[in-house]
Amino acid sequence: MSGFNTYSLEMKNTFALVLVFVSFQFFGQVKEWTLKECVDYAVENNISIKQSLLDVELAELSKSDAVMAFLPNLNANASYNINTGANINPATNQFENQTFKSLSGGASSGINIFSGLQNWRNLQRAKLSKFASLYQLDKMKDDISLFVANAYLQILFNKEQLKVLQAQNELTGENLQRTQDLVDAGVLPEGDLLEIKATNATQLQNIIEAENNLFISRLGLAQLLQLKDYANFRIADVPEFNISDAILTNSATTIVSKAKEERNEVKIAEMNLEIAEKDLALSRGNYYPTISGFVSYNTRWSSSQLDPFTREQIAFIDQLYLFDGTAVGLRLNVPIFNGLSVRNNVGRSKVNLKRSEFQLEQAELDLEADVYQAYNDAKNAKKAYEAALITEEARKLAFEYAKERYDVGLSNAFDFNQSRTQYENAQSDVIRTKYDYIFKLKVVEFYFGIPITELNTF
């Protein structure tokens, strides 16, 4: 029995240690964000987007107001008074010079029968305003997505740049040790060792700068996402991918046409133009007369109301029945002269309509220019990337040749370092032009309506 207890105790201790180890591993892991997660989080939490969502809510409320304007209104009223001196008795409508109490109440309802189709136009305008708010919201989401993608690619660039610098410094460390051995053996002069040490120091300095650039880029994306834990923010490593330029097989004209269908800048301008047209129609509607219908019911009670035969006060309920009344009617209002306010409002609406037409035209021109610019930038970025690859390959061969000569003592450290520096610069140019090309391709795809949340399309 004691052996069993000992065994159970050992199992419990083992389980506890495993649990602590697993918990440590779980809590010690830092979340690595994918591009899609970054974009989705930014879209959900960005303050500007939240404010734009409030604009959509307000537009929905305006639409609800426009719908409710078609319904009749209904209001009730009541008043209770204590009268002293000469006052009109609400039950008899006669002046009475005595103290009495009185109560009156009623209900009324009215409906707009005709007002120059204002209610209908207000409803159409409210619908257009909601669409405009939704387009504005989508545009803001698109802009945030583009900012996030750019910041995300900047981190990838800085990570890859840091890896290249670290790999270069490892080779320098190996050369430093080899050169030290050759100097000690009297094969190479002391100056070659100093040259390698200077190169090593410069590379270490570049690594520190690259680490700082990586931190700053992570900080920038974390701030864009409005995350507070900057120090532990990390993005997921993206597997090596092949860059596809399939989007560039389309002509710039085709992409412009697609962008006009997909991009919200033009849609917003189109909605604003339609809203301006409705505003003009609403302004002109004020020239028309308005017709409204109404019905009301009123009743009253007075403490001084006496029965003429018994001279006793008439009961409260009886007075409400005796002195009630209804009214039904139509009301016509014809605008004749209002200080030219209607005409001036129509004039303002015409000016705003013309401005909206210009804004739509400008939005289309701006979008066309942006697409052509993005298209040409992507093509030029492709050429720069391809040229950088060719240069890198040439510099690599030149470096390998210089290294062979240096290893057998046919070249000095200065020439060797010159060749290595040129190769390192070529590697950096490949990384820089690569991510510049990727982002510019994504911008063109963005105009074409392809989501920007994935990098595996390359």
In angstroms, the CA 318 to CA 312 distance is 13
The whole domain housing 181 covers 30-71+115-286+358-448
What's the total number of domains in the chain? 1
Q: Which two tokens stand for residue 386?
A: 């391809």
Does residue 311 form part of some domain? Answer: no
Q: Which two tokens stand for residue 330?
A: 């139509």
In angstroms, the CA 352 to CA 373 distance is 31
Q: Which residues of 32-69 are buried (b: 16+ CB within 10 A; e: fewer)?
A: ebebeebbebbbeebeebeebeebbeebeebbeebeeb
Amino acid 318: pLDDT: 87
Amino acid 3: pLDDT: 47
Does residue 13 form part of some domain? Answer: no
Q: Which two tokens stand for residue 12?
A: 């419990």
100-143 pLDDT, tens per residue?
Answer: 888 999 999 999 998 888 899 999 999 999 999 999 999 999 99
Does residue 43 form part of some domain? Answer: yes
In angstroms, the CA 188 to CA 240 distance is 41
Q: Which residues pair with 183 in a beta bridge?
A: none
Does residue 303 form part of some domain? Answer: no
Does residue 136 form part of some domain? Answer: yes
Positions of the chain with pLDDT lower than 50, given as ranges: 1-9, 11-12, 14-27, 456-458
**Which amino acid is located at 436 in the chain?**
D
In angstroms, the CA 192 to CA 179 distance is 7
Does residue 156 form part of some domain? Answer: yes
Count CB atoms within 10 A of the CB of residue 70.
12
Does residue 329 form part of some domain? Answer: no
Q: Pseudo-torsion of CA 424, 430, 436, 438, nearest 10°?
A: -140
Amino acid 420: pLDDT: 86
Q: What's the CATH number where 232 sits?
A: 1.20.1600.10
Mean pLDDT, rounded, of the chain: 86
Q: Which two tokens stand for residue 257?
A: 């046409």
Residue keyed to tokens 């107001």? 65
In angstroms, the CA 282 to CA 116 distance is 8
DSSP 8-class letter at 63: H
**Which amino acid is located at 82 in the chain?**
I
Count CB atoms within 10 A of the CB of residue 198.
12
Does residue 438 form part of some domain? Answer: yes
Measured distance between the N- and C-terminal CA atoms of the chain, rounded to whole angstroms? 66
Amino acid 454: pLDDT: 61
CB neighbour class for 104 (10 Å; exposed up to 12, middle 13-18, buried from 19): middle
Amino acid 241: pLDDT: 62
In angstroms, the CA 151 to CA 161 distance is 15
